[in-house]
């Protein structure tokens, strides 16, 4: 079973959920549709139509395919709050209807997620140290700390968080990791 670890929810997840909410993915909805041949932006064949072509990479495609195939996400306990908030904001901004938000929430409930509940106890120590050292929010530091502590790759597109991961020796999730 594949594990997609410390999935960074904020960076591109709103776009994922916007597409999922329109009925493109999850256990209760059809799996992400595969692309045809590589397009003008070079998106490889077989990547899902969840991420807009301009933002799709081999790594985002591999992550989304792994999620669609039932990979386990290892995330800080704050992850569902961040994701639910992202959906609420998308609805408030008119990018999702209330019904689409409910579909996305249903899809999310079907994901295999392992929540890490140690973050609150680390907020005033390790998380604050990481956030200060790498100029991250405490929230982003929680993803970095989880990946570091469990020796798991970090899946994210946020450049400051990626740079911090490299400096800490935390592997970044990529195709085949």
For 99-125, the pLDDT digits (tens) are 888 888 888 888 888 999 999 999 999
- pTM, to two decimals: 0.70
Both tokens of residue 150? 């469990």
Tens-place pLDDT, residues 23-50:
444 334 333 332 222 332 333 333 233 3
Q: State the virtual CA torsion across 134, 7, 83, 46 in degrees, nearest 10.
A: 130
Q: Bigger pLDDT: 56 or 41?
A: 56
- Asked if pLDDT for residue 1 goes beyond 70, the answer is no
Considering only the top CATH level, what class is 3-168? alpha beta
Distances (CA, A) of 148 to 38, 60, 94, 102, 115: 35, 21, 37, 33, 15
* Phi, then psi, of 112 in degrees rounded to 5: -85, 110
Tell me the helix, strand and coil percentages in the chain, rounded to 5: 50, 10, 40
What is the mean pLDDT of the segment spanning 9-34? 44
Instruction: Round to whole Å and give the CA distance between 128 and 138.
Output: 6
For the ranges 12-21, 97-106, 127-136, 141-150, the lowest mean pLDDT is seen at 12-21
- Residue 170: its pLDDT value, please? 94
Beta carbons within 8 Å of 104's beta carbon, 6+ residues apart: 17, 20, 21, 87, 96
Q: Bigger pLDDT: 64 or 92?
A: 92
């Amino acid at each position: 079973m594949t594990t997609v670890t410390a999935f960074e929810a904020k960076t591109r997840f709103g776009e994922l959920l916007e597409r999922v909410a329109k009925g493109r993915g999850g256990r209760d909805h059809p799996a992400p549709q595969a692309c045809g041949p590589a397009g003008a932006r070079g998106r490889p064949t077989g990547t899902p139509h969840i991420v807009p072509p301009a933002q799709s990479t081999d790594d985002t495609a591999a992550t989304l395919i792994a999620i669609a195939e039932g990979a386990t996400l290892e995330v800080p306990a704050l992850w569902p709050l961040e994701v639910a908030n992202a959906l609420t904001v998308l609805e408030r901004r008119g990018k999702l209807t209330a019904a689409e938000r409910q579909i996305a929430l249903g899809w999310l409930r079907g994901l295999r997620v392992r929540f890490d509940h140690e973050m609150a106890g680390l907020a005033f120590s390790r998380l604050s140290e990481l956030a200060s050292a790498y100029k991250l929010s405490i929230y982003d530091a929680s993803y970095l700390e989880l990946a570091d502590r469990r020796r798991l790759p970090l899946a994210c597109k946020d450049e400051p968080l990626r740079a911090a991961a490299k400096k800490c020796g935390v592997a970044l999730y990529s195709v085949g990791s």
